[in-house]
């Protein structure tokens, strides 16, 4: 977290739990009696089994910090897309969510957008995009109750 944010995060001592992350890049989610969210984190797409101070990581581990509801659960989502595509042919993008064990499952009804193209995924998590103009397109996916995806870039020639 320190390296990824270049020190732009804050924590407080949490009685019995070590450090509690309360802010990342100025966005605050401290645990309080009235808080509706806190900073949850995932390791390799599975919800962390320990706090940040005691979580054991292996080289190359993928970490995600995101607001998590105080009640209930959220799952992270990801986009699977080609790195390149042709403007003369449509291409497919799949959106998946990760269950608590970190296994990918197709996500239906997710909104996929690059600001110009918008589509809703099918029951199998797919959308078809026809980018008629060459360029670099940056897609994200969102769905209520899930952690939004990281952006994915597709270069269309």
pLDDT by residue (tens digit) across 48-81? 877 777 888 889 989 898 888 877 788 999 999 9
- Of 16, 18, 21, 17, nearest to 4 by C-alpha is 21
For residue 144, what pLDDT is reported? 92
80-116, pLDDT tens digit by residue?
Answer: 999 999 999 999 999 999 998 899 999 999 999 998 8
For residue 108, what pLDDT is reported? 97
What's the chain's Rg over C-alpha atoms? 18
Predicted model pTM: 0.82
Measured between alpha carbons, how far is residue 151 from residues 46, 113, 115, 141 in Å?
19, 10, 12, 8
| List of residues 6+ apart from 126 with CB closer than 8 A | 92, 93, 94, 95, 106
| pLDDT band at 4; cut points 50, 70, 90 | confident
How much of the chain exceeds pLDDT 90, in percent?
A: 54
Which 8-state DSSP code applies to residue 120?
A: E
Helix (H, G, I), strand (E, B) or coil at 116: coil
For residue 14, what pLDDT is reported? 74
CA dihedral 114, 117, 120, 125 (to 10 degrees): -60
How much of the chain exceeds pLDDT 70, in percent?
A: 96
Contact 21, 11 (CB under 8 A): yes
């Amino acid at each position: 977290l320190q390296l990824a944010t270049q020190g732009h995060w804050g924590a407080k001592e949490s009685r019995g739990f070590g450090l509690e992350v309360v802010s990342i890049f100025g966005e605050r989610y401290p645990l309080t009696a009235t808080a509706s969210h806190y900073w949850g984190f995932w390791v390799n797409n599975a919800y962390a089994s320990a706090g940040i101070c005691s979580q054991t990581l292996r080289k190359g581990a993928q970490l995600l910090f995101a607001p998590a509801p105080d009640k209930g659960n959220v799952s992270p989502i990801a986009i699977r897309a080609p790195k390149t595509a042709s403007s003369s042919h449509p291409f497919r993008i799949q959106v998946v969510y990760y269950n608590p064990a970190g296994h990918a499952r197709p996500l239906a009804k997710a909104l996929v957008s690059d600001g110009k193209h918008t589509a809703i995924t099918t029951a199998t998590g797919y959308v078809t995009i026809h980018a008629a103009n060459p360029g670099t397109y940056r897609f994200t996916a969102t769905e209520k109750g899930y952690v939004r995806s990281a952006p994915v870039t597709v270069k269309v020639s």
